[in-house]
Amino acid sequence: MILRRMFFCLLILGLVWSHGLANSEPPLPMFRSDLERSGFIKETGLPQLKGVKWKFMTGGEVQSSPVIAGETLYVGSNDGFVYALNKHNGQLDWKFDTQSMACSTPAVAHDTVYFGSWDGDFFALNAQTGKVRWKFTTKKDMFPREYDFLYSSPAIYKNTVYFGGGDGFLYALDAATGKKRWELFTKGPVRSSPAIVNGTLYCGTFGGALFAVNAETGEIKWRFNGGEILTAPAVVDGVVYFGSRDTYLHALDAETGSELWKHQSDPAGWWMATSPGVAHGMVLIGTSDGYKMLAVDAKTGALRWSFTTKHRIWSSPTIAENMVYFGGWDKRLYALNIQTGEKEWEYETEGPILSTPWVEAGAVYVGSDDGYVYAFH
């Protein structure tokens, strides 16, 4: 049961705002740092590790990914609380009890924190106080209970918040009131976190398809059948990149959905387990039991390099400057040179790292299954 909860909670984390990489300064307070879900943060990285700047203990595994808005770090924990911490020293500003588990990565906009909880409720909180602004409850019991939970992390675009539900629906809600603007049934649980580019929403489903949807109306533009998709797609330079349990990293034309190339996991047969990171002409993605971080050419899908860890990788790669950061089930946080794949440093925690790192101003923030939120410098 613990493994199942970890499996469900990890993979789906996400968040908010709009614009492309050229406009993403500072990083947007959302999973993957922008609406494209590229995982590329235009921030100073951490090429050399000094040590732990601070750490904060929660009451459960931290598989949600931290995001920073202003002076505050927001993150969920499997103890059921969403935490607001001072990013400089880790001191608690407030915490909110979801009465469930908080696996979804928060998104922050309009002085509001948006996130989903394990039991299918979606919350909007005052970012300063943690008080509830509104709550939306998704449909329940649409699928077997082990699938019917809310893991998708939200995106916010033009005053609308978008996320997927374990009930199989994509939702668009008014960001200020929580009133439903549209919903789309996908025929499978949606754990993927939506990306939004040029008014089109892209999201994968556990039902085996990647959807491109008009973000304003919910009308389907195209769909691509590509196996069970649990993680966020990345949409960069007119291409949609996503990994699947069909063991491939796929690259599709963002306008038409036609496949440009696909790259199989190494060794063949293991599924692509993370959201892809896209920068420097490369796509990076982690595999499950292959225990590898792969870097492939963004235009051709040809392998550039691979790095092998001691266990599976479910933490999505975050790219800053010339470095890539991710965690592993082997309890380690890794920092690699993105050009060569060579390890620059690693740090071992007391639990698996399924959380995706956040990088800002020469510091790296991440959660661990040992219950801590870490800040490294």
pLDDT for 2 equals 43
Q: pLDDT, tens digit, for every residue of 212-225?
A: 999 999 999 999 99
Q: What six digits make up the tokens of 109?
A: 């906009």
Cα separation, 356 vs 285, in Å, equals 12
Cα separation, 133 vs 360, in Å, equals 28
User: What does the domain layout of the chain look like in residue ranges?
Assistant: 2-372
pLDDT for 8 equals 43
pLDDT for 17 equals 31
Check whether 15 has a pLDDT greater than 50: no
**Residue of 336 and 147 predicted with greater confidence:** 336
Say if residue 267 is preceded by a cis peptide, omega within 30 of 0: yes
Q: pLDDT, tens digit, for every residue of 76-135?
A: 999 999 999 999 999 999 999 999 899 899 999 999 999 999 888 999 999 999 999 999
Partners of 74 in the β-ladder: 67, 84
Dihedral pair phi/psi, residue 324, rounded to 5°: -125, 135
Check whether 4 has a pLDDT greater than 80: no
Q: What is the dihedral of CA 53, 58, 63, 69, to 10 degrees?
A: -60
Distances (CA, A) of 131 to 82, 95, 104, 219: 11, 9, 18, 34
Cα separation, 247 vs 292, in Å, equals 13
Residues present in the chain in total: 377
Mean pLDDT of the chain: 91
Check whether 14 has a pLDDT greater than 60: no
CATH topology of domain 2-372: Methylamine Dehydrogenase; Chain H (2.130.10)
pLDDT for 25 equals 53
Q: What is the DSSP string of 164-185?
A: E-TTSEEEEEETTT--EEEEEE
Q: For strand 40-41 and strand 318-320, is the pairing parallel, antiparallel, or unpaired?
A: parallel
Q: What is the pLDDT confidence band of residue 151, given thresholds at 50, 70 and 90?
A: confident
**Residue of 33 and 268 predicted with greater confidence:** 33
Helices within the chain (DSSP H only): 2-10
Q: What is the DSSP string of 179-229?
A: -EEEEEE-SS---SPPEEETTEEEEE-TTSEEEEEETTT--EEEEEE-S--
Tell me what the mean pLDDT of segment 179-205 comes to.
96
Q: What is the pLDDT confidence band of residue 352, given thresholds at 50, 70 and 90?
A: very high
Q: What six digits make up the tokens of 192?
A: 């993927």
pLDDT for 150 equals 78
- The region of weakest confidence among 37-51, 146-160, 194-208, 341-355 is 146-160
